[in-house]
């Protein structure tokens, strides 16, 4: 019987091969072509690394950083389908980074050169006393072969546990209104980084680009679900036109004997009563609506820890990853490791555990160096971004946090030349 099935398949293939073969080849080579032109376009981008040196006295809240991220939405570019196919163009992104070593904690940005003026103007507008200067890429100061016989590493990309419209805990919730105190949500991470030894390195990478328009549709769908609205089935433009034409013809014919009825009126959904929501659901609804009101960014979050093999400790790994658990909430959203990027022995690769772990570690280090946007990205608002990346205020007394000791000033007007 099996031979008869294969014989039938060969007979059918003999009739359609001339049509199927070009379609299969087109599908394969179109993907290869998009990968090729996309890689060529990525290689053509000129990047620059900027270091931000913050003043010693910062009295501003993360709200100032939120304004910077909002201004970064201006990098959004319209790219035609023709440019995508022929030139491989895509929406470029910017990387905001924190690097901790035995020498201190530094704040960096890795950006295409064309965005440099925009970034500097946004930073100086909110932090006039800060300094922004181009520096060498700090990721090239270590061997490109990590992990190796001398150094080991740990790294992971983070994703959300729930759909992106659900927010994490943001900085306004860290303010103690009763005692008029502000708790810096980055304090534990900065403190951990400032206590590293000379051979240790901790890197945090936040890659952002304007979110696609589909995020707004996803947010509206979740809001409708929370308030109890029944979603309408989506129809294509042609299907909707045909349905409308048939409905109009039918109502025109029976309109002589009875009043016509239209589906748009009969199927009009009743307004949901938000007052009937439980306090917990109402809190979630307000949070989702609040996030949807902000500018949104497609975001990748990547963490790296590097140390010599003889002193490598999982304690620092737990301290780095645990520093982001402060943003998690039980009823809304939380960070979780993207299992695809975690070195492990799951699946059939348990036979090659060491080889797999080595390749996974190498790939995430290279992804950090090249600032590759992760596949498992999420959408975050400007408020959420400012919560997990901002310049610490005076409450963070990390001993090795790099700050400016002096301020720049203008020369006196009567200075002799």
Query: Is residue 274 one of the residues assigned to a domain?
Result: no
Query: Is residue 411 one of the residues assigned to a domain?
Result: no
Give the closest residue to 41 by CA, choosing from 95, 96, 84, 77: 84
Domain of residue 177, CATH code: 3.40.462
Query: Is residue 284 one of the residues assigned to a domain?
Result: no
Query: Is residue 395 one of the residues assigned to a domain?
Result: yes
Query: In terms of DSSP H, where are the helices of 48-109?
Result: 63-71, 81-87
- Domain of residue 118, residue span: 46-213+296-404
Mean per-residue pLDDT, 221-230? 84
CA atoms within 13 A on the CB side of 300: 20
pTM: 0.81
Q: Which residues are registered as beta bridge partners of 101?
A: 104, 201
Is the confidence at residue 259, as pLDDT, over 90?
A: no
- Residue 76's pLDDT is 92
Query: Is residue 73 one of the residues assigned to a domain?
Result: yes
In the chain, the number of structural domains is: 1
* Cα distance between residue 22 and residue 28, in whole Å: 10
- Residue 179's pLDDT is 47
Mean per-residue pLDDT, 330-355? 75
Binned at pLDDT 50, 70 and 90, residue 180 comes out as very low
Query: Is residue 266 one of the residues assigned to a domain?
Result: no
Query: Is residue 385 one of the residues assigned to a domain?
Result: yes
Give the closest residue to 109 by CA, choosing from 146, 157, 77, 75: 75
Is the confidence at residue 85, as pLDDT, over 80?
A: yes
For 99-134, the pLDDT digits (tens) are 998 878 899 999 999 999 999 999 999 998 889 999
Query: Is residue 33 one of the residues assigned to a domain?
Result: no
**Percent over 70 (pLDDT), the chain:** 75
- Residue 51's pLDDT is 95
């Amino acid at each position: 019987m099996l031979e008869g099935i294969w014989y039938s398949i060969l007979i059918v293939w003999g009739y359609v091969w001339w049509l199927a073969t070009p379609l299969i080849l087109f599908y394969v080579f179109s993907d290869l072509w998009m990968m090729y032109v996309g890689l060529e376009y990525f290689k053509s981008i000129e990047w620059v690394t900027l270091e931000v040196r913050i003043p010693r006295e910062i009295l501003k809240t993360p709200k100032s950083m939120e304004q910077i991220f909002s201004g970064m939405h201006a990098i959004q570019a319209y790219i035609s389908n023709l440019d995508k196919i022929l030139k491989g163009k895509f929406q470029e992104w910017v990387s905001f980074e924190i690097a901790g070593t035995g020498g201190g904690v530094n704040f960096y940005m890795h950006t295409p050169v064309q965005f440099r003026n925009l970034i500097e103007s946004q930073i100086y507008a909110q932090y006039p006393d800060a300094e922004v200067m181009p520096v060498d890429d700090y990721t090239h100061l270590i061997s490109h072969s990590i992990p190796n016989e001398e150094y080991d590493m740990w790294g992971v990309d983070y994703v959300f546990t729930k759909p992106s419209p659900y927010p994490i805990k943001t900085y306004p919730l860290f303010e103690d209104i009763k005692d008029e105190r502000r708790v810096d949500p980055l304090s534990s991470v900065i403190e951990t980084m400032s206590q590293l030894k000379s051979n240790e390195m901790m890197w945090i990478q936040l890659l952002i680009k304007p979110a696609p328009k589909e995020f707004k549709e996803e947010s509206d769908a979740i809001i409708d679900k929370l308030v109890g609205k029944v979603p309408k089935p989506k129809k294509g433009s042609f299907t909707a036109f045909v349905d409308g034409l048939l409905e109009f013809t039918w109502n025109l014919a029976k309109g002589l004997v009875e009043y016509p009825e239209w589906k748009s009126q009969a199927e009009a959904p009743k307004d949901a009563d938000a007052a009937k929501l439980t306090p917990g659901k109402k809190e979630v609804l307000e949070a989702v609506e609040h996030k949807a009101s902000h500018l949104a960014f497609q975001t990748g979050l990547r963490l790296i820890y590097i140390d010599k093999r003889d002193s490598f400790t999982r304690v620092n790994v737990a301290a780095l990853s645990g520093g982001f658990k402060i943003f998690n909430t039980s009823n809304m959203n939380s960070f979780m490791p993207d299992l695809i990027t975690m070195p492990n022995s799951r699946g059939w690769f348990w036979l090659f555990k060491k080889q797999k772990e080595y390749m996974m570690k190498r790939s995430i280090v290279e992804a950090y160096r090249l600032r590759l946007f992760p596949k498992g990205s999420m959408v975050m608002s400007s408020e959420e971004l400012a919560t997990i990346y901002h310049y610490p205020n005076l409450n963070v007394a990390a001993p090795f946090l790099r700050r400016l000791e002096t301020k720049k000033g203008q020369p006196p007007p009567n200075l002799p030349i």
